[in-house]
Amino acid sequence: MRRPPNDATLLDNFVRMRSSPDGATVRWIYSGVLVGKIEGEVAVPLTRIEGMSRTRAIARNDGAWDWHLEEAGYYCDLASGQVLEQWLNPLTGRKVAPVHYRSAQRLVFRDNAVLPATEMPGGAHFRGEITQLASIAGTLALTEDLYVSIDARAATATQPARPRQLASSLATFTTTYAQLAQPRNQWVDCQFTYTTLNSFVGWLDMRDTVGIQNMRLVGVKCRVDDDAAVPSWLRERLTKEHPDLLNPL
């Protein structure tokens, strides 16, 4: 059985798995489902999710790494895979308009900690960590686990009340020890699984409902110029709506 790595080895493997040896931007192509669970009831698959992110790791002088991520994703019909513009939420019986997402993230990786790159807003609490989840059958699995909470807010003359919000993202990255044993100037293949445990997003029209939503995604790391890895419909949609996302950071 392999021993858990020290923080320096853990971070080195983690960055190699998630980046390119020449420091270039990489793409992550992913696919999965959105699941909703009202407290006390059985979970229900809601939509498919299809998307792509671009990421880059930049070394700092103190041994830490700046992490840049931008992504776009689409909520799609479970059966047909078509991007949804209107959708009947089976948990409420009400029609809603899914809000497809474009988001950015800036983090700092330091030893086994994941830190926000900028100060969190008042009432927000962040904890992030890198861990070794498993070492089995010649495969290494490392995690990036982020836990965020935002305090409840009372109603004011200008803002409505907001309940306490919770967001957890649990990402697992896997590669083989054979990949990591290559010279450091060689590309390291990596796959990931990603799950969230979050309060219901606003467009579901369930803010006052007690329960959680869960994104369950799988994806692969690709070179930034590997257009063939991006499904043609997704590439066409990104070219139309988010053309910069297809370029290096």
Task: Tell me what percent of the residues of the chain surpass a pLDDT of 70.
Answer: 97
Average pLDDT over residues 34-56: 98
Sequence spans of domains, the chain? 7-153+161-244
Q: How far is CA 4 from the centre of its chain?
A: 25
Answer with the residue of higher pLDDT: 75 or 167: 75
* DSSP conformation class of 228: G
Q: Which tens digit of pLDDT belongs to each residue from 47-90? A: 999 999 999 999 999 999 999 999 999 999 999 999 999 999 99
Q: Please report, for residues 76, 83, 139, the alpha-carbon distance to residue 99 in angstroms, rounded to integers and kept in the order given.
A: 11, 11, 37
pLDDT of residue 205: 96
What's the mean pLDDT in 235-240? Answer: 98
More confident residue, 108 or 159: 108
Gap between the Cα atoms of 174 and 125, Å rounded: 28
pLDDT score of 157: 81
pLDDT confidence band for 4 (50 / 70 / 90): low
- pLDDT, residue 87, reads 98
pLDDT at 5: 60
Please give the pLDDT value at position 155.
Answer: 78
Q: To which H or E segment does residue 49 belong?
A: strand 44-59
pLDDT tens string 113-139:
999 999 888 888 999 999 999 999 999
CA distance 1 to 33: 34
Q: What is the mean pLDDT of residues 176-201?
A: 97
pLDDT at residue 165, rounded to an integer: 79
Residue where the block lists tokens 């086994």: 112
Mean pLDDT (the chain) is: 94
Whole-number Cα distances in Å, 52 to 33, 61, 74, 231, 232: 14, 30, 9, 10, 12
pLDDT of amino acid 166 = 81
Which three-class secondary structure string do you get for 188-239?
CCCEEEEEEEECCCHHHCCCCCCEEEEEEEEEEEEECCCHHHCCHHHHHHHH
The span from the CA of 70 to the CA of 106, in Å, is 9
Give the pLDDT band of residue 207 (cuts 50, 70, 90). confident
pTM, entire model: 0.91
| pLDDT for 1 beyond 70 | no
What mean pLDDT do residues 184-207 have? 95
